[in-house]
Amino acid sequence: EDKVVQSPLSLVVHEGDTVTLNCSYEVTNFRSLLWYKQEKKAPTFLFMLTSSGIEKKSGRLSSILDKKELFSILNITATQTGDSAVYLCGLHGSGNTGKLIFGQGTTLQVKP
Amino acid sequence: NAGVTQTPKFRVLKTGQSMTLLCAQDMNHEYMYWYRQDPGMGLRLIHYSVGEGTTAKGEVPDGYNVSRLKKQNFLLGLESAAPSQTSVYFCASSYSWAWSNQPQHFGDGTRLSIL
């Protein structure tokens, strides 16, 4: 059975800190791994990762996938209070249905 | 620029009542999904659809039914609501995964309380 585990479950940092969020997974047939940011309402898409070792970057956020060790990390540098959110990791296994299995999420709080 | 719209945003039901949650998307997406989100459990897939007139079960389908009569709409029904169905429900949609991986786009959610 496909499975996704995120760690830590919650994290409190101060503005300017760098954080690393982890997503480990078990899957029979890997297709892609997605990261989402959820503030008050709808999760918003951040990154889709399909290949090992290729970093995806958007401003202060970056993510990378390790398909050998079965994990992904999401890095946020120079954190701001606007980064406070729940970060969700979703895994897509085999098939063409687009079904995602999500981890529990990591709640990040950035204090001024 | 609506994207994915969910109706209603909030609802309180009594045990045993029925209701339908509506999801509408204006992006011409083929695929649509219903999730529920409970504290500490992330998003769990209830049902999904890969095209008009087709539906399939997800991880937690019991107690729910769905219909996709039109491509742009995906309805989630609770026939006899139970307190365990108190949750936040999210609808999502995406382009077809037949040729390439596609991100899902989410609505703002429906907060449902069953008393």
- In what order do the strands lie in the sheet containing B19-25? B4-7, B19-25, B73-78, B64-67
pLDDT digits (tens, 9 = 90+) for B33-80: 999 999 888 899 999 999 999 999 999 999 999 999 999 999 999 999
pLDDT digits (tens, 9 = 90+) for A1-29: 889 999 999 999 999 999 999 999 998 88
Q: Say whether A98 and B50 touch across the interface (CB within 8 A).
A: yes
Residue range B97-110: mean pLDDT, rounded: 88
Chain B residues whose CB is inside 8 A of the A42 CB are 4, 90, 106-109
Q: How far is A25 from chain B (nearest CA, A)?
A: 14
Of A50, A98, A105, the CB nearest to B94: A98
Compute the distance between CA of residue A55 and CA of residue A93 in angstroms, rounded to an integer.
21
Chain B residues whose CB is inside 8 A of the A3 CB are none
Q: What is the 3-state secondary structure (H, E, C) of A11-49?
A: EEEECCCCEEEEEEEECCCCCEEEEEEECCCCEEEEEEE
pLDDT given for residue A5 in this prediction: 96
Tell me if B94 sits within 8 A of B103, measured CB to CB. yes
Tell me if A47 sits within 8 A of A34, measured CB to CB. yes
Size of interface A-B (CB pairs under 8 A): 70
pLDDT digits (tens, 9 = 90+) for A49-104: 998 989 999 999 999 999 999 999 999 999 999 999 999 999 998 778 888 999 99
Token duo for residue B75: 């309805």
